[in-house]
Every structure is written in C-alpha cells, then in structure tokens.
A and B are shown apart, each in its own frame.
Chain A
C-alpha cells in the first residue's frame, strides 16, 4: 500500500505540479513543430517507455551516488549513458517488433530518445527521491512522461484555438505560443508556489 501511495504521489507531482514543460521549461527538439495528436501520442509513448526503463538502472546508480559523494560529478554522465543504452535497445526493438510504426518515425525517433526530457527526468528524480524508495523514483519518471505528453497536447490545442483567432502579425507563431505557455505556467504556479525550480 505504501508502495502504491508513494508511486501515485510522485506520479501526480511530476505530471501536474512539476510539469516538465510548464513549470521547468524543459523541452525536446522540434517541440514547436506542427504535429497531429497521433504523432504526439507516439512521441509521448516513446518518452514514457524510455523514462520507465531507464528509471530502473538509474535508481540503482543513484544509490551508489548517494553513498559515495565523490562520484556525484559523474552522475550526469552515468545517467546519460543509461539513457543512451536504453534508447538504442528500444530503437532496435521497435525496428524488429513494429516495423511499420518504426518506418513512420525513423528519422525523428533518435531525437525523442535522448533529450532534455529523458535526462532531466532522471536527474530530477534522483534529486527528489531522498527516501531512497524505488516507487517514488519510478512514479516520478512515469508521471514526467505522461505530463509532457499532456503538455504537448495542450500546445496542440493552443495552436488549434489560435488558428481561429485574429492575432497581430508580429505575434503570430512562436511569440504568441510563448505567451500562452507563460499563462498556462502561471496557472500551474498557483499549485507549485512562488519558488524557483532547481
């Protein structure tokens, strides 16, 4: 029961209150490109799978870093290597098991496998999970992936709504998207509180 409670709390926290895009401004390459909801769900699924699988070795590695402070400067490198290896495994597994889906996202898949979201999630989860319970670590990684997918869907809906409104020429495209992101972020800061994320 404690396992589930911790997992759920970390999941909700990562998904809503500490959403990677709105609260921490963490992005992926090509975030502002036009995409269909189907493509967004595919990207989200890739991010979630890589986050969840990486969380297992990363949790074990973070235990070593917690007990040996001298190795802390190498934490980023070790997490990046874990992320890279997991991505390569997923890449070839997808190529073999889902060839049609793989062919449709082959060129962009590598950029969704290793990016700020995947590495940032592991680093933040390692910093936050002081209780050294795997459930909170895994819950955070899962929640971050789901939260980022939701954020991309919000971004897509923003674009849909803005396409139907009259926006001044100078604000069209990226400027108005930034301002909209800022306003959504303001709404979430009501839950997070007045503090700078680190």
Chain B
C-alpha cells in the first residue's frame, strides 16, 4: 500500500503540533474558563488572547529557563505570581481594545495567571532548550487562540448576528443561549467531534487515494525481496 499521502499529512500535523495536532482546547480540554465564558464574542476573545500573549508566553519561557531548579510545590506558586505581575501591563493593553472589557469578562481576566494551560505548559517544558520552549509556548497560545476566535465568532453570530459588534445577519432569529456557559460547552463538544471527523476523513481519503496510485520503485523493490 502506498502511504505517501498519509505520511505527508502526518508530517503536516507534526509541524503544527499544538495548533492542529494536540490542540490545548479541543484535545486536552485546557484553559476552558478562558475559552468558554470570555469567548462569547470576538472582542472578549481578542482581549483574553492579548493578555495571554503577554502573561502566558513569557512565563512559560521563564519556567523553561529555570527548569527543575525549583521544587514542584514552589513552581506552582512562583510562576502564577510571575504571570500575575505581567497581568498589570496587560491590563493597559487590553483597555485599548474596549474600555468596558473588564466589566464584561470580570474575574476571567485575573484567572489568566492560574489557568490550566499555564500549569500544563510549565511542567511540559522542564527539560527543553530555550528555543524549543518558546516555540512550544507560542504554538500552545496560537492553538488556543485559533479555536477561541472560531468559537467567539460563531457564538457572536448566533447570539447577536454580529461580528466584532458590527451587525451582519439582521433578519435571522437570535440564539442568546449561545453566549452562556452551556452554549460554549456544547459548541466545544461539537467542534472537537468535527475536528476528529475531519481527521478521520482525511486519513481514509489518503489511504484510498494511495491505493489507486502506482507503486513507487523502492516499494516495488522491497515487495520483491
């Protein structure tokens, strides 16, 4: 069987590890408080994404640099405190997105400094090199933001018929429940299932397409032996 297409697809997945493969939100269920409640719309998602970039990425990088020098019981206190200190400049950046954003996202802005994605990442990068740590942190952030933005856009469209506050769908019926926690949970469930379905379809398509292709000379040689 010719597996070239499957290999190419797997290679693509490996390159996008943390974004398409092992996505922190859809595969691991991490950072849910930040993805479910503040991603009721694109503005809230953008605010959380900016704050995550300022707090999450430098903290994970720092934890990679320090490594195992700190015991676990101290790591879980020190890194959230570092992240919390970074929340103070992040607050001023986020204010530029929308002045009323803190009224809307409330405590969820503060929870960025202790979210489960941060706790997971600081343990994952203990024995990695600095460049690998930075890449890992950026991939995790990008993967989480990508899904949060997608979810935010869908929920805002369903609930208000708008995107970033601009009304797009005027005459369609509204679904306010999409902005609630339950809407987020259900949408995430369906998104996770959809991604899994797409993955399975691509794999089966690649295998079928591969079986119709003529065998390469190396494979023919191997088969002969």
Contact = CB atoms under 8 A, between A and B. Distances in A.
Interface of A: 22-32, 73, 75-77, 80-81, 84, 87-88, 91, 107, 109-111, 113-116, 118-120, 123-124, 127, 169-171, 174-179, 181-183, 185-186, 189, 194, 196-198
A80 B114 contact: yes
Closest 8 CB pairs of A and B: A178-B189, A198-B106, A182-B185, A182-B186, A84-B77, A179-B189, A185-B182, A25-B36
B26 interface: yes
Contacts of B74: 88
B40 interface: yes
A197 B37 contact: yes
Given A119-B114, A194-B176, A84 B88 contact: no
A178 B33 contact: no
Contacts of A115: 114, 116, 119
Given A23-B181, A127-B106, A29 B81 contact: no
A180 to B, nearest CB: 8
B185 A110 contact: no
A104 to B, nearest CB: 15
Contacts of A198: 103-107
B39 to A, nearest CB: 10
B181 A170 contact: no
Contacts of B185: 25, 178-179, 181-182, 185
Contacts of B84: 76-77, 80
B116 A175 contact: no
A24 B104 CA distance: 13
Contacts of B115: 116
A76 B105 CA distance: 14
A170 B88 CA distance: 41
Given A170-B200, A178-B29, A182-B186, 20 more contacts: A25-B33, A27-B32, A29-B119, A30-B116, A76-B110, A76-B113, A77-B81, A77-B84, A84-B80, A87-B76, A110-B76, A119-B110, A127-B106, A170-B197, A171-B189, A174-B27, A185-B181, A189-B180, A197-B106, A197-B181
Contacts of A29: 30, 116, 119-120
A24 B40 CA distance: 13
B76 A114 contact: yes
A24 B33 contact: yes
